[in-house]
Amino acid sequence: MATSDSRHGGFAISLPVKVAALAVGLLAVFLSGPAAAQELERAMRSVVSVLPEWPPDARRSEEPEGSGVVVLDGKTIVTALHVVDRARSVRIRTRDGKILKARLSGRDRATDIATLTIDTALPPITPGDGEPHLGDRVCAIGNAFGLGLSVTCGVVSGLNRAGVGFNRVEDFVQTDAAVNPGASGGALVTDKGEFVGLLSAIFTKTSDANIGVNFAVSARMANDIARNLREHGRVGRPISGMRMEAAPGEGETGVLGARVVSMRPGSRAERAGLLAGDVIVRAGGRRVRKPADFVSAMSLLLRADELEVEVIRDGANKRFRLMK
């Protein structure tokens, strides 16, 4: 699990049988009935514990294991890159206790996402139907402290978080569901068991304690990265060709956005008709409050043919289309 000061890999703690039974009952109440608890149990079958074998100089004590989510064809597992990056070999442990070999098949350092490949298909997690909404109830499923899969629940606290400082490209779902080292690479799911985020980071200042500000890479981005890594072995990330700065500048007033400072000749942005001085305020339907928001929105071109961009130019709002 990444923190604001260090990288980690985990979440909630397994409970004794009697306490676990009580926890399941409480989850059923929190998630509005036993049907939702059944969906959560189904989602847990698509989350695995990730067991890296570390070289002697990279062994970890607090986070000996991590988590992963089965996606796509059932033979692809998406996880956080920092969980497996220096591992000599990787195995996974399923919900029903099977241990399987896995191969580290893809890395994307810009988003801290990695893919593992297994030979035996597992049930892939149910994808979410679009983005969640603020205040939606969600649960984090992960292998906290290497103690086995467990569940914590909360709400969606924020969407499309970017510029937090963990990764070069960020598109985070923020949640107050408690997360702890070991859960990195686990799943953030709705009360229907639908995948909405890949558990990634804990925001802290001086310790690894949970303070209710936790981040999961949006399921859209996680799935897009996993698909690109599986099909191409890399992520061909679209580049706008612009240099931007935060607007308004220091001491200025105005609407928050990303001001275009310059652009490369022949770049996507120039071909679309953008000009230096334009202030980008929306991209792909998302509000752009700073340059990092636009960088995140550019990743939408991994699955779309164009990106609509709204700018303020000479006091008027104008729209342009960046093509894939």
Per the CB < 8 A criterion, the answer to whether 54 and 60 are in contact is yes
- CATH code of 242-323, in short, is 2.30.42.10
To the question of domain 1-237 being in CATH 3.10.20.70, the answer is no
Per the CB < 8 A criterion, the answer to whether 255 and 268 are in contact is no
8, 67, 108, 112: the active-site residue: 112
Per the CB < 8 A criterion, the answer to whether 127 and 187 are in contact is no
What per-residue confidence (pLDDT) applies to 57? 75
Residue 82 designated active-site:
yes
Q: What is the pLDDT of residues 155-198, one digit of tens each?
A: 999 999 999 999 999 999 999 999 989 999 999 999 899 999 99
Q: pTM of this prediction?
A: 0.86
Residue 184 designated active-site:
yes
DSSP state of 281: E
Q: What is the pLDDT of residues 221-274, one digit of tens each?
A: 999 999 999 999 999 999 999 999 999 999 999 999 999 999 999 999 999 999
Domain boundaries, the chain: 1-237, 242-323
Structure tokens at 20: 């676990």
46, 49, 67, 82: the active-site residue: 82
Per the CB < 8 A criterion, the answer to whether 131 and 172 are in contact is no
Per-residue pLDDT, averaged over 20-30, amounts to: 46
Between CA 158 and CA 248 the distance in angstroms is 23
Instruction: Give the DSSP per-residue string, 131-166.
Output: ---TT-EEEEEE-GGGS--EEEEEEEEEEEE--SSS
- ω into 132 cis (within 30 of 0): no
Between CA 224 and CA 229 the distance in angstroms is 9
What per-residue confidence (pLDDT) applies to 204? 66
46, 49, 67, 184: the active-site residue: 184
